[in-house]
Structure 1
Amino acid sequence: MAKKEEVLDPDTLALIQWCTEVEGFLVAGGATLAQAQEHIEDEVEWFTDQFYDGLTPEQAAKEALA
């Protein structure tokens, strides 16, 4: 039996893309890729709020690194 592929809604896809961009700015700010990914996972609610509040990925990364 084939596994049914999960379809994500456009908002979720946009959030994932945004977090991927934040990740890059966190790495540019001195974090390793693993550290950036772990931080986003640990603080997913905070990052989600920043996304819906309209922060750019760069702004969110700067806030996270502050």
Structure 2
Amino acid sequence: MAALIAWCTEVEGFLVAGGATLKQAQEHIEEEIDWFTDLFIDGMTPQQAANEALSD
């Protein structure tokens, strides 16, 4: 669980770097936590996950 939280924190940073506000990034991760968890389990890097989220 701690690894997932750390991973999501890294994703958050990439989302912010991609143009989201910190609040938007946090809300998106919270709303799509199941999807992000699947990406984590599949071995996607935080940067890859953020790129996927930003491309939607």
TM tier, smaller = over 0.9
Per-residue displacement from partner, 1:22-64 (whole Å, max 9, x unpaired)? 0000000000000000000000000000000000000000000
Give the equivalent residue in structure 1 for 2:46: 57
Distance in 2 between residues matched to 1:64 and 1:46, nearest whole Å = 10
Distance in 2 between residues matched to 1:45 and 1:65, nearest whole Å = 17
Distance in 1 between residues matched to 2:13 and 2:48, nearest whole Å = 12
Scaled by the length of structure 2, the TM-score of the pair is 0.98
Could you list the runs of 5+ residues in structure 1 that have no partner in the other structure? 1-11
- Structure with greater helix share of residues: 2
Q: Which amino acid aligns with 1:62?
A: N
Could you list the runs of 5+ residues in structure 2 that have no partner in the other structure? none
The list of structure 1 runs, each at least 4 consecutive aligned residues, that deviate by more than 2 angstroms after superposition, is none
Q: Which has the higher contact order (CA 8 A, sep 6+)?
A: 2
Scaled by the length of structure 1, the TM-score of the pair is 0.83
